[in-house]
């Protein structure tokens, strides 16, 4: 009997000792910011300050806003598991990170997958000097002249959107409608095909688009690893986007390029432009993978941002009828002036752009910017040295919802953007980022969003229904800013009588 008691006691000692060792190991860096005189909220052993998103209690945007609101200081420290991260709150310091001292912060902290050449060519994931080479190649593709040429393609999808809505008046789910539209736009402009999402509820393009962004344990695991445990990406060969989606989009793009080569046809779309870059390359196989990567990244980046911007704008318009009426008046008068929806007419709609700006303030699709410090950096006028390898987070959602910069931040008020310079302070409104690594597809995304809203608001009215969320609660199982219950509303023909 004493032998049994002795064995149990030894087991308990081993378990207790192991537990203490693991606990000590997981908290060994938790005095990092304290030693440097930087405020940081109390982290939790093993999880750091990420417990709310790891247990899916909060969306990342809500976590960022919570961390941002813990202090009024220019920056604060936090922990991703046991790794120290720095969150920059001060607009002047944000400007240094993004522009003035860009050479120190030219790379994102997100991982670049060493095991997959196609995904490694995503500009979002690339590090210097590969990022700079790719950026220089792609910048001409997204010039204002090239975007203007895309208008005809985008507008034709907008007309298809009107036909679809005319057949589906009444209760609609705005996010799903906008997703169909954005899928068709990108399929047409980047892959050169008609994805026909308005004709078929479950086309392959729509299915694989969902696979990229809808919640799955694989997607959730990949997000956490890429942003908060980048060293594990190569070790465990974690894919940023699932391989089935990668293979589908590679096949579609390959078929498009092959057809055009045989037929010697050029459509003047992004597929042609990306293929021209491939043909100009000396190394064909690598260039082909790079072309695949750019096409897939274009779809991934444009699909979610465009659909979310459209649907959140419709959501706010259905809650704010006076704003909807003002926007419809501008659209009607401008179309009347030009006789139809044209690129020039879209550019003239200032109030439309103000509404979209306010939507992106209140609902920035990606709620943060990430950078990594490449060399030790002394923060001006402080004693803080940001050490090489420290990840830097710029809290877009925290800045956008700060009442100091945007009074009454929960209120949807497009008139905030009557003045170019908000409250005399720059770098507090950055939905597309800023500096050399700003969003390359900003012009195209805005044009696609504007075209959809012009076609919808000029012909229809949107109204709230019993299921319309107010306020919106963000989905905690997703990196992007999405509504937990969708964005349901009522769609009517403009001027139709309400029964």
Grade residue 284 by pLDDT with cuts at 50, 70 and 90.
low
Structure tokens at 299: 């779809």
Instruction: Look at 456 and 285; give whichever has higher pLDDT.
Output: 456
| Predicted confidence (pLDDT) per residue in 88-145, tens digit | 999 999 999 999 999 999 999 999 999 999 999 999 999 999 999 889 888 888 888 8
Of 277-281, 293-297, 399-403, give the lowest mean pLDDT range: 277-281
Grade residue 285 by pLDDT with cuts at 50, 70 and 90.
low
Say whether domain 31-493 belongs to CATH 1.10.630.10.
yes
Chain center to CA of 312: 14
Of 301-305, 307-311, 318-322, 473-477, give the lowest mean pLDDT range: 301-305
In this prediction, residue 193 carries a pLDDT of 84
In this prediction, residue 422 carries a pLDDT of 53
Range 166-169, long-range pairs (CB < 8 A, 24+ positions): 166/459, 166/493, 168/491, 169/460, 169/491, 169/492, 169/493
What residue segments make up the domains of the chain, in order of their start?
31-493
In this prediction, residue 496 carries a pLDDT of 61
Q: Is 34 helix (H, G, I), strand (E, B) or coil?
A: helix
Of 72-81, 256-265, 349-358, give the lowest mean pLDDT range: 256-265
Grade residue 2 by pLDDT with cuts at 50, 70 and 90.
low
| Predicted confidence (pLDDT) per residue in 436-445, tens digit | 999 988 999 9
Report the mean per-residue pLDDT for the chain. Answer: 90
Instruction: Look at 248 and 409; give whichever has higher pLDDT.
Output: 409
In this prediction, residue 499 carries a pLDDT of 44
Question: What percent of the chain is predicted at pLDDT more than 90?
Answer: 65
Given a cut of 90, whether residue 213 has pLDDT beyond it is: no
Grade residue 469 by pLDDT with cuts at 50, 70 and 90.
very high
Round to whole Å and give the CA distance between 467 and 488: 6
Given a cut of 80, whether residue 494 has pLDDT beyond it is: yes
Q: Is 266 helix (H, G, I), strand (E, B) or coil?
A: coil
| Predicted confidence (pLDDT) per residue in 140-187, tens digit | 888 888 899 899 999 999 999 999 999 999 999 999 999 999 999 998
DSSP 474: B
| Predicted confidence (pLDDT) per residue in 228-252, tens digit | 999 999 999 999 988 888 998 888 8
Mean pLDDT of 479-487: 91
In this prediction, residue 452 carries a pLDDT of 98
Q: How many residues does the chain have?
A: 499
Q: What's phi and psi for 371, nearest 5 deg?
A: -140, 165
Q: What is the DSSP string of 109-176?
A: SS---TT-HHHHT-TTT--TTHHHHHHHHHGGGG-HHHHHHHHHHHHHHHHHHHHHHHHS-EEEEHHH
Tokens 């308990």 -> residue: 12
Question: What percent of the chain is predicted at pLDDT more than 70?
Answer: 94
Q: Among 256, 62, 174, 219, which Cα is nearest to 453's? A: 174
């Amino acid at each position: 009997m004493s032998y049994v008691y002795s064995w149990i006691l030894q087991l308990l000692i081993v378990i207790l000792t192991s537990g203490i060792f693991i606990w000590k190991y997981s908290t060994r860096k938790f005095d990092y910011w304290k030693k440097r005189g930087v405020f940081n909220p109390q982290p939790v052993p093993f999880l750091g300050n990420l417990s709310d998103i790891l247990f899916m209690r909060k969306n990342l945007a809500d976590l960022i806003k919570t961390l941002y609101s813990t202090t009024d200081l220019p920056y604060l420290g936090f922990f991703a598991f046991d790794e120290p991260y720095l969150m920059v709150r001060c607009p002047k310091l944000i400007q240094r990170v993004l522009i003035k001292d860009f050479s120190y912060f030219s790379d994102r902290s997100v991982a670049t997958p060493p095991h997959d050449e196609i995904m490694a060519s995503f500009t979002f994931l690339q590090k210097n000097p590969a990022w700079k080479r790719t950026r220089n190649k792609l910048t001409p593709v997204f010039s204002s002249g090239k975007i203007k040429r895309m208008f005809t393609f985008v507008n034709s999808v907008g007309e298809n959107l009107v036909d679809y809505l005319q057949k589906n008046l009444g209760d609609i789910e705005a996010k799903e409608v906008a997703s169909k539209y954005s899928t068709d736009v990108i399929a047409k402009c980047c892959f050169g095909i008609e994805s026909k999402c308005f004709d078929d509820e479950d086309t392959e393009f729509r299915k694989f688009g969902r696979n990229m962004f809808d919640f799955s344990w694989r997607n959730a695991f990949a997000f956490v690893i890429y942003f908060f445990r980048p060293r594990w990406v190569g070790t465990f060969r974690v894919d940023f986007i699932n391989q089935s989606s990668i293979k589908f989009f590679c096949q579609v793009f390959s078929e498009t390029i092959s057809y055009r080569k045989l037929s010697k046809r050029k459509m003047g779309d992004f597929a042609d432009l990306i293929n021209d870059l491939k043909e100009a390359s000396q190394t064909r196989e690598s260039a082909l993978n790079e072309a695949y990567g750019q096409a897939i990244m274009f779809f991934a980046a444009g699909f979610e941002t465009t659909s979310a911007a459209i649907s959140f704008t419709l959501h706010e318009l259905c809650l704010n009828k006076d704003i909807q009426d003002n926007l419809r008046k501008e659209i009607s008068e401008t179309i009347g002036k030009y006789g139809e929806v044209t690129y020039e007419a879209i550019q003239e709609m200032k109030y439309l752009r103000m509404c979209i700006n306010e939507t992106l303030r209140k609902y920035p699709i990606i709620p943060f910017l990430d950078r990594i410090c490449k060399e030790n950096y002394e923060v001006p006028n402080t004693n803080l040295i940001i050490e090489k390898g420290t990840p830097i987070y710029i809290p877009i959602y925290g800045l956008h919802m700060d009442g100091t910069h945007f009074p009454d931040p929960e209120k949807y008020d497009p008139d905030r953007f009557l003045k170019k310079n908000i409250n005399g302070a720059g770098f507090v409104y950055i939905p597309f980022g800023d500096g050399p690594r700003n969003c390359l597809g900003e012009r195209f995304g805005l044009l696609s969003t504007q075209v959809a809203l012009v076609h919808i608001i000029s012909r229809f009215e949107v109204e709230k229904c019993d299921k319309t969320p107010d306020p919106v609660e963000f989905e905690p199982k997703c990196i992007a800013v999405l509504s937990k219950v969708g964005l349901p509303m009522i769609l009517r023909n403009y001027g139709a009588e309400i029964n």
